[in-house]
Structure 1
Amino acid sequence: MLEAINAVLDNVAHRMPELLVSLSETFLMVGIALGAAILVGIPVGTLLYLTRKGGLVERPRLFALFDILVNVVRSFPFMILIVALIPVTRFLLGTSLGTVAASVPLSIVAIVYYGRLVEQSLLDVDRGVITAAVSMGATLPEIVFKVLLVEARSGIVYGLTIATISFLSFSTLAGAVGGGGIGDFAIRYGYFRFETDTMVFTIVVIVLLVQLIQFSGSRLSRVIDKR
C-alpha cells in the first residue's frame, strides 16, 4: 500500500512542472477572456438593456440585431465555435494555433455570455430609482454610470463570478487548437496515457480553483451590495 502511494506521489511530482505550465496557459486564456468580457461585455449588456422595448433609448431594430447575434453565438457548442472561427483567428493573429489563438473564440463567447448576464443584472434594478433620476434631469450617461451600473454592481460582480467559472470550463477544450491549459493536460495524461493518478490530482486542482473563484466572487458581491 505504501509503495503504491509513493508511486502515485512520484508520478504527480514528475508531472508537476508541466502542470504548472498548463495552469499558466489556463490563467492566460481566462484572463484574456475576462478582460474582453469586462471591456466589451458590459457595454453590450448595457446596450441591450437601453434599447429593448420600454428602455431608456428604445431602438427595436438595434435591440433585435444585438439580441440575435448574442443568441446565435451562445447557441454554438464551444468546440464548433473554435473551428468556425479559425479563419478569423488566423486573420487577427496570423495563426490559429496556440494559447493566445484559443483566447479569440473564448473571448467572443465571454463577451456575449457576460453581456447577457449584465443585461439581466440591469433589469433587476428598481425602476423607481431610474424614474427618480430621470425626473431630476439626469442625462443618459449619468443614469448609466451613476445609477444603473452602481445599483447593479453586486449582480454584475456575481455574474462575472459565474462567467469566470464557465470560461475555465470552456478553456479545457483549448487543446483542440494547441492552446494547452489544465484541461488539456488532464486529457493528455489521464485519458490518452491512462495516468489516473495524474488526472485525479488535476481534477482536484480544478475543483479548488472553482471553489476559490466562487468564494471570492460571492464574498465581494455581498460586500459591495448596499441594498
Structure 2
Amino acid sequence: MNDWIHYFLPHLDRLGPELLECFWQTATMVAVSGTIAWVLGVAIGVLLVITRRGGLWEKPWIFYLLDKSIDIIRSIPFIILIVLLIPLSRFLVGTGSGVTGSFVALVFGTVPFFARQIEQVLSDLDEGLIEASLAMGFSVPQIVFGVYLRESIPGITRVTLITFVSFIGITAIAGAIGAGGLGDFAIRYGYQMGYRDMIWLTVIIILAVITVVQCFGQWIIRKTSH
C-alpha cells in the first residue's frame, strides 16, 4: 500500500505536514468568514425583500442603498477587492495578510452574491402566506422568522450550497496572494514547482469537502421540503 502511495504521491511524505496545515488554514477561512458572510447575507437578503416598494417594511432609501452597494461590490474583481480592503482589514483585525487578514475580503466578496440569491429565494415565496400572516396580526419580525425564513429553508439551503462552492474558489484566490490555505499550496507546489501529484491531491481534497457538504445540504433539503 505504501508503495502505491509513494508511486502516485511521491512528494506526500515531505509535504504532507504542510498540506495538513494548509487544509486547516482553508477550514479556518471557511468557518470564520463563511459564518459571518452567511449571517450577513441572509440579513441583507431579508432587508432587500421587506424594504422594497410594497414590502412589509417599505423603506425605499434603505433598499436603494443596499441594492446599489451590492451592485458596486459585485462589479469589482475579487483579486482587486482584496487589495482595496487591506487598510480596512488592518483596522478591523490588525493585519492585511495571512489567514486573519483574508477574513474581511472574503466576507465582502461573498455577501453581495449570497444576499442576491437570498433575495430571489424569499421573493419566490407564495404571497398568500404573507397576506394570511398579516391578516392574522403577525408582526414584521414574526413574519420574517416564522414565514419568510422558515418556509424558505430548502431554497436557502440550495443557494448556500451554491455559494459554498464559490466561496471555496475565492479562498483559493486569497491563498494565492498570501492568505495561505489549499490555494496557496496548490500554486506553490503544483504550479510553480511542477509537483503534479500535489495539485491533483489538493483538487481531490477540495472535491471531497464539497461533496460532503453537498450531501449534508441535500439531506436538509429533503427533511425540510413539503
- Shared fold (TM-score greater than 0.5)? yes
CA distance in 2, matches of 1:5, 1:46: 49
1:42-91 C-alpha deviation (Å, 9 max, x unpaired): 11110000011221122222211100111111111110100111111111
- Equivalent position of 1:153 in the other structure: 153
1:116-139 C-alpha deviation (Å, 9 max, x unpaired): 121111111100010001111111
- Structure 1 residues without counterparts, runs of 5 or longer: none
- Equivalent position of 1:71 in the other structure: 71
Q: CA deviation at 1:14?
A: 2.2
Q: CA deviation at 1:96?
A: 0.7
- Equivalent position of 2:104 in the other structure: 104
CA distance in 2, matches of 1:5, 1:167: 30
- Tell me whether 1:201 sits opposite 2:201 in the alignment: yes
CA distance in 2, matches of 1:120, 1:172: 27
CA distance in 2, matches of 1:120, 1:5: 47
Following superposition, which runs of at least 4 residues in structure 1 exceed 6 angstroms of deviation?
none
Aligned residues of 2:186 and 2:202 also touching (Cα < 8 A): yes
- Equivalent position of 2:137 in the other structure: 137
| Residues 35, 189 of structure 1: alpha-carbon distance in 2 compared, 3 angstrom cutoff | same
Q: CA deviation at 1:140?
A: 0.9
- Equivalent position of 1:182 in the other structure: 182
What residue identity is the alignment partner of 1:148? Y
Aligned residues of 2:176 and 2:187 also touching (Cα < 8 A): no
| Residues 191, 117 of structure 1: alpha-carbon distance in 2 compared, 3 angstrom cutoff | same
Q: CA deviation at 1:6?
A: 3.4
User: CA-atom RMSD, angstroms?
Assistant: 1.8
- Structure 2 residues without counterparts, runs of 5 or longer: none
What residue identity is the alignment partner of 1:135? A
What residue identity is the alignment partner of 1:23? F
1:165-191 C-alpha deviation (Å, 9 max, x unpaired): 111110001234421011110110011
CA distance in 2, matches of 1:17, 1:6: 15
1:137-184 C-alpha deviation (Å, 9 max, x unpaired): 111111111111111111112211111111111000123442101111
What residue identity is the alignment partner of 1:20? L
- Tell me whether 1:48 sits opposite 2:48 in the alignment: yes
Aligned residues of 1:45 and 1:117 also touching (Cα < 8 A): yes
What residue identity is the alignment partner of 1:72? I
Aligned residues of 1:33 and 1:103 also touching (Cα < 8 A): yes
SS in structure 1 opposite 2:163? helix
Q: CA deviation at 1:98?
A: 0.8
CA distance in 2, matches of 1:222, 1:124: 19
CA distance in 2, matches of 1:8, 1:42: 43
Q: Given the two structures, how large is their TM-score scaled by the length of structure 2?
A: 0.93
